[in-house]
Each structure stands twice: as C-alpha cells, then as structure tokens.
Chain A
Amino acid sequence: MKRFPIAAAVLLVLATGLYAQTNIEFWHAMTGKNGEMVQALSDKFNASQSSYKVTPVYKGSYSDTMNAGIAAFRAGQAPAILQVYEVGTATMMAAKGAVKPVYQLMAENNEKFDPNIYIPTVKGYYTDSQGKMLSMPFNSSTSVMYYNKDAFRKAGLDPEKPPVTWPQFFETARKLKASGMEGGYTTAWISWIQLENFSAWHNVPFGTKSNGFEGLDTQLVFNTPLQVKHFTQIAQDAKDKVFIYGGREGKCDPLFISGQVGMVFQSIGANGTYRKSAKFDYGVTRLPYYPDVAGAPQNSIIGGASLWVLNGRTKPEYQAVADFFSFISTPEMQSLWHRETGYVPVTTAAYEYTKALGFYKDNPGHEIAIKQLLNKEPTANSKGIRFGNFNIIREIEDQVWEDILADKISVKDGLDKMVKDGNAKLREFERLNK
C-alpha cells in the first residue's frame, strides 16, 4: 500500500507529459549508417519544436517492417508512419481503407505540399493517375555500375574510361578475366537491375499499361529478343567464368569487395558499404546500354522505400506526421540524408543545395545516380513500375534465373516462364483488387 502514492505520482507525471507532447512512432527498416541517420533526422525534428516527438523504431528487414505494420493495423495499433519498400507500393496503394494518402494528410493539416518539388522519377513512382502523392518519398536509390580502378590498371585499361555500351562492357569483362582475375563481373538484384532498370534505360516496356501505372490488367512483356540477347550473353559469360553468380539480392557484394570480380551492378545505396570495405580504388559509372536500341539511354528508375501513413490515429498525431514530413523535405535535411547515406536527393532543391555545397567535387559517385535518374524526361516505359504481388514475381525471376545459369532451362524458355508465371500472379492480384 505504501507504494501506491508513488505509482500514482509517476502516472500523473507521465500523463501530463503525454498531454503536453504528441508522440508518434516511425517504423523503419534502416540499419547501420542509414539507421543512425533516421535517428538523427528524428532527433533534429524533436529538437526543432516542443509539441511533437517522433520515435523511430527499427522493425527488421523491409518485409518484416511491412508485416509488422500490417499486423499492427489489423490489431488497431498501427504506427503513424510506416516505411514500405518499392515492391510493396502496389499493395499499399490497393489498401485504400488502411492508408491515409499523403496529399490528403497535408491538406487536412494545412501543411504546404507541392508534389512537383520532387524529381520526376520519384514523383511518378508514388503518385496516383491524377498526379496526387500517396506516400512520402524518403530513401530512393537507383542502380549503377561500380568498377575496380586498380584492376583496370592491371589489365591495361584506362581507369578513367569505363565501358559505356554493353558490347564494350562484355569485352572489358573478358580483359579483366584474362588479366588474372577470378571473373569479370557480377550483378545484384537480377530483376530490379537487369530487367526493370534495363528496360527503362532502353525505353522498352517491362509490362503493358505503362508498366502497370494505368491499370491492374497489365501484362509482363520483358521476354523480347533484346532481353533474350542480353541474358544469353550473361549466361554464356557464366559458362566461361567471366560472370560469377553471387546470390540473390545484394549477396554478390563480397565478390567485388574481395577483388574477385572487377565490375558489379548494384544500388547506389551500397556505395557507403563499398567505401568502407573495399581496399582498392574504385569508380562509379552509369549503366551500359545497347547502342542499336533507339532512344537508349533513357533514364533509370528508383528503388528503395517511401513513408506511408496509416489510418486509425488521432488528429494531433496526424498533425505531428505532417509537420515531420515538411521538416524532412527541406533541402537541408534532404541533402544531409543524401550525403550521409548515398541515397539520391529526392527533391530538385536538395540536389541544387548539395551541388552548391561543392560536395560532388570530392564525391562524383554520389552524383552519377541522380544524373542517371534525370538523364531524360521519363516516358511511359521509364516512370517506374507498379505491379501487385511484385515480391513473389521477383522471387520467380530469381528462381528461374538460377535455373538458367545452371543450364536447366534455356534463356528464351526461362524468360517466357518468368513472364507466364508472373502474369498469373498479376491476375490473382487483379481479381482481388478489382
């Protein structure tokens, strides 16, 4: 009984604390340096005003985070802000009752919000057909090529002249192998880089209906002679040990970092890791293209994640979210995030701001990605991709790609199988969300 007054006093203090300040949770999947920067942005926001407090909560991988958000929403305990990766975008867009669109959130809370401050590829990815922003752009990346300059020197190649076209690239890879390297090159994210970005970069469709932007009745179409030619070359290189397979997603990183291969395709988001781990001089350059494809190179598309606002929170909490979103969209914060993490600046203003700081003189690699995204005005083929069940479609692509490399299926049949099985998943999504 003696403890009761103390407990009551503690509760009272806590209650007044809650009354004075609105707390919101921000569930994210950022680790290492990126996780530290999420914390830093939240701390800066909390210090900049006293009405709201944002608490970032690390929820595991991207899929863990999305699942935690879904489970919490179904239990009526949704976090105010949920970070969702690009493959979950169509699922979130289809979840109409669960999501509070960002344009609506900002309007309701009288925050100024103009979707046109975002660079076109970012804006296009997260807006609906009327150009209204549904989620808040946050960490956007794109795929680039990294190459080992020391290995180039050793093979008698000019380290300041990385290959620009695919034919040059394949030749360079063979020279690197001939100079005594284990292999010439590898790639991360087979679907995202060698099919989705590959299609956008060559201004050819990955799927119909503007890659799914214009309706759920979309079909995958990436089994044309161009992709067959590309994959046939890589599969041949795999047989000749010029291409080395390192695993799905980003598992190939050690091959490049340990110097076993001289070139790698990976997200610009990996630049920080490479800078820390690679014991050699390396460069970052644009994706190669086939010169015989009209219009190539077009522009690459983004990856990464955006911030979604879930329904079921109180009005003051939404006010807090709106304030926080405005805060992290300022050029200063965007630029800080970009410089520290390697993700691209998502607004034009942040890009100009970073340029004005002179940052790119010492860090040319950081600028490659944004330049590649801005290379040309995006077309229907290069705005981005929007497909339901996309995670399982990528898994199918990964599985079939491994079967192609293991010679269990031919390149043409493999691409046909990816398209056919992927389309079946698109139909399931269409049926459920019609």
Chain B
Amino acid sequence: MSKQYEFKAKGLPYLLVLPQMVVVVLFFFWPAAQAVWQSFFLQDPFGGRVIFVGLENYTRLFTDSSYGYAASFVVSIAFAVCVTVLAMSSALFLAVQANKGLPFGSFYKTMLIWPYAVATMVAGVLWLFMFNPNVGIIAWLLKHKLGIEWSHLLNSSQAFLLITIAASWKQIAYNFVFFLAGLQSVPATLVEAAAIDGAGPAARFWRIIYPLLSPTTFYLLVMNLVYGFFETFPIIHQVTAGGPGTATNILVYKVWRDGVINLDLGGSAAQSVILMILVIGLTVIQFRFIERKVNY
C-alpha cells in the first residue's frame, strides 16, 4: 500500500517532468526512431542515394551466412554468460572472505574495489600488454616456463579466454561491493542460530546466507548480463578487434564496425534495432519478474 500524492494544479506535474522528457526524447526516442527508419533502407554514406528495401536488412542478417550474424549472436551469448559466471562467482568468494573480519580488512576491501575505477578501455590495454604474444610478460612466462604457446591472435579459444578474463576482472569490483553490502545485511542472529543447531560453515552459507543474498544476486545477474552484452565494447576493440577470424566478434562490436568503419548504414541500423529489442527485453525481465518474485 503505497501513499499517493496529488498535485492541486493540473499542469505542474507535466511541467516538472518536462526537462527529463525532453532529454529522453532528444537523446533516446529520436535516435531510436531514426535507427528503425534507417533499417528499412540501403543508402550511401553521404545520403545521396536511398533505396527502400523493406525488411531486407533484417532478413540479410539471418539468412546470409557471409554476414556472420548468427555466429556473432552465439559468441555474444557465450561471452556474456561466461563473464557473468566468472565475475559473480569470484566476487562472491572474495566478498565472503573479506567479510570475515580479517586484520587489514578495509585495506583488502579498498584494493578489491579499485579495478572499478579503471576505465574499461584502459583495462583492455592492460590485459593486452600482459598477454601480447610478442612482448607480453604473461605470454612470455607461459611460453618459456610452462611451455604453453600463447597466441590469441590465431587461437580462438585463447582469444575468448583473454577477453572473458579482462572483462570479468573489471566487473568483479562492482559485484564485490554489492555482495559485501548484501552479506553485511544478513542478520548475525540467523547465522548463529543455525550454528547452534549444528550447521557447519558450508551449510550455513548455502542454507542461510546464500538464499538471503538472492535479491543482490539476481540484481547482479541482470547487471552482469547487460555488461557482458553491451558494455564490453572497449575490451573487444582493444584486445582482439573481433578476431581471430570472427571468433570474438560480439554484437555490439559488429554493429559498430559495420556502421562506423564499413559504412553499411542500413545493416547496422537493423542490428541496432535488434540490440534495442534485447535491452528492452532484459529490462522487462528485471522489472516484471525479478524485482517482484525475489523474496527479501
């Protein structure tokens, strides 16, 4: 039962939301509508010639295998899932350890939060330097100490592994903060009561703490999937540029390359419409299902 406020003057509420609406219309609805419009045309970059092609830009994405869209879709999903699993499980582990009241606890916490202050582009460069097959220190160690030939320029699995690690590293800090806050709000009395009832550390964690963390976990799940899907562009751009072949050509990278570098405006617009639908879908899931069904 939430309280409802009512404005006396009829126009005032509209006036108050107007600035926000102007911003949203100008920077979201207008470009979004343009993308939808453009996705029905083939056009030359300067806008001189425009041909209406109906849904061809969309059908081309899914039927023309040389376009590589289906492959890009699969890679994106695999990537987002891997990043989410890796970033969330490591962050949860670290948060649980940091929550144990160790000496220098706040020092560890600060250090663990730090990577979040690093720009994604810079994170990409850092990992690229360490793993550069020619000059990278880790690539050198792998080769000369462990006998592993590191070549993410040609080896698809290694390239995928590298961007997954780089993207997760950046996201762990974010997850860590939320998990730590979540853990600190778990009532100590419940945990102690379970301990008195004879539950060991593992049972206490999985039976008491983990379920109580579920709102945080679900929130992070959506945030991490969104991050993996849409915000990892700088890492791909820096580390692999979509290669080798098309092994790491995720959707957000492909839409940029096709539109901005290769000047295929119609195809790129169709791709961004599809991305838009995906974002809307994820948002709906978050609002309609997760926020309501998770018990606090």
Contact = CB atoms under 8 A, between A and B. Distances in A.
Interface of A: 63, 67, 70, 73-74, 91, 94-98, 245-248, 254-255, 258, 260, 389, 391-392, 395-396, 398-400, 402-403, 405-406, 408, 420-421, 424, 428, 431-433
B245 A432 contact: no
Interface of B: 42-49, 51, 64, 66, 132, 134-135, 151, 153-156, 241, 243-246, 257-258, 260-264
Nearest to B249: A399
Given A70-B45, A398-B243, A420-B66, A391 B51 contact: no
A432 B49 contact: yes
B261 A63 contact: yes
B134 to A, nearest CB: 5
Contacts of B155: 406
27 contacts: A67-B260, A70-B263, A94-B44, A95-B45, A96-B48, A97-B46, A98-B48, A246-B153, A248-B241, A254-B134, A255-B134, A258-B134, A260-B134, A389-B264, A392-B262, A392-B264, A395-B261, A395-B262, A399-B243, A402-B243, A405-B154, A406-B154, A408-B245, A431-B42, A431-B51, A432-B42, A432-B44
Given A254-B135, A431-B42, A432-B44, A391 B263 contact: yes
Contacts of A421: 66
Contacts of A245: 151, 153-154
Nearest to A94: B44
B259 to A, nearest CB: 9
Given A247-B153, A260-B134, A403-B245, A95 B46 contact: yes
A95 B245 contact: no
Contacts of A395: 257, 261-262
A260 B51 CA distance: 51
Contacts of A94: 44
A395 B45 CA distance: 18
Nearest to B262: A392
A428 B241 CA distance: 24
A343 B244 CA distance: 31
B48 A406 contact: no
Contacts of B134: 246, 254-255, 258, 260
A100 to B, nearest CB: 13
Nearest to B41: A432
Nearest to A70: B45
A248 B243 contact: yes
Nearest to A401: B245
